[in-house]
């Protein structure tokens, strides 16, 4: 099971990377979005690779199709070290919603509440940051 989850994670990461570099090679710009950003940083009690990969995989399984989401990403902490980097987390979740109403609906959605119930016991600390995003045009 661990090998399967790791394989899925690696393949998913590769696909995201290919999309990004394909856009770069084609000279396409990444579009700015407006809405509400919901960023969640998880510090886990069991921060082993299996637990981290399971949380990332379940993020997609439970949260990725909830209505009102404009963009979604989840992953583990990067090994990049800089003085300004906050490295006090194990897994991060980044979701952009159409608007505040979509975020409010997400918070009570059955798939979100199931995700929270499933993973909250392994969370030592959860930090949530919500930001209103502005379209610069």
Tens of pLDDT, residue by residue over 2-49, are 554 444 445 455 445 545 555 555 566 666 667 999 999 999 999 999
User: 67 and 119, same structural domain?
Assistant: yes
User: 66 and 8, same structural domain?
Assistant: no
User: 26 and 45, same structural domain?
Assistant: no
DSSP 7-36: HHHHHHHHHHHHHHHHHHHTTPPPPP--EE
Query: pTM value?
Result: 0.74
User: 109 and 74, same structural domain?
Assistant: yes
User: 115 and 49, same structural domain?
Assistant: yes
User: 20 and 48, same structural domain?
Assistant: no
User: 93 and 26, same structural domain?
Assistant: no
**Shortest CA distance to 94 belongs to which of 75, 113, 114, 121?**
75
Q: Which domain holds residue 17?
A: 1-30
Token pair of 124, please? 């030592």
Question: What's the domain count of the chain?
Answer: 2
74-92 residue pLDDT tens:
999 878 777 756 678 999 9
Cα 131 from Cα 137, distance rounded (Å) = 18
């Amino acid at each position: 099971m661990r090998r399967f989850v790791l394989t899925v994670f690696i393949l998913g990461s590769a696909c995201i990377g290919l999309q990004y570099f394909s856009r770069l090679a084609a000279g396409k710009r990444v579009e700015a979005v407006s809405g509400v950003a919901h960023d969640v940083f998880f510090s886990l009690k069991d921060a082993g690779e299996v637990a981290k990969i399971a949380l990332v995989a379940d993020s997609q399984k439970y949260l990725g199709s909830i209505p009102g989401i404009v963009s979604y990403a989840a992953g583990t902490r990067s090994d990049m070290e800089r003085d300004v980097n906050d490295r006090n987390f194990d897994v991060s979740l980044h979701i952009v919603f159409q608007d505040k109403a979509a975020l409010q609906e997400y918070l009570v959605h059955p798939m979100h509440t199931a995700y929270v119930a499933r993973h909250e016991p392994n969370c030592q600390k959860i930090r949530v940051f919500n930001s209103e995003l502005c379209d610069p045009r």
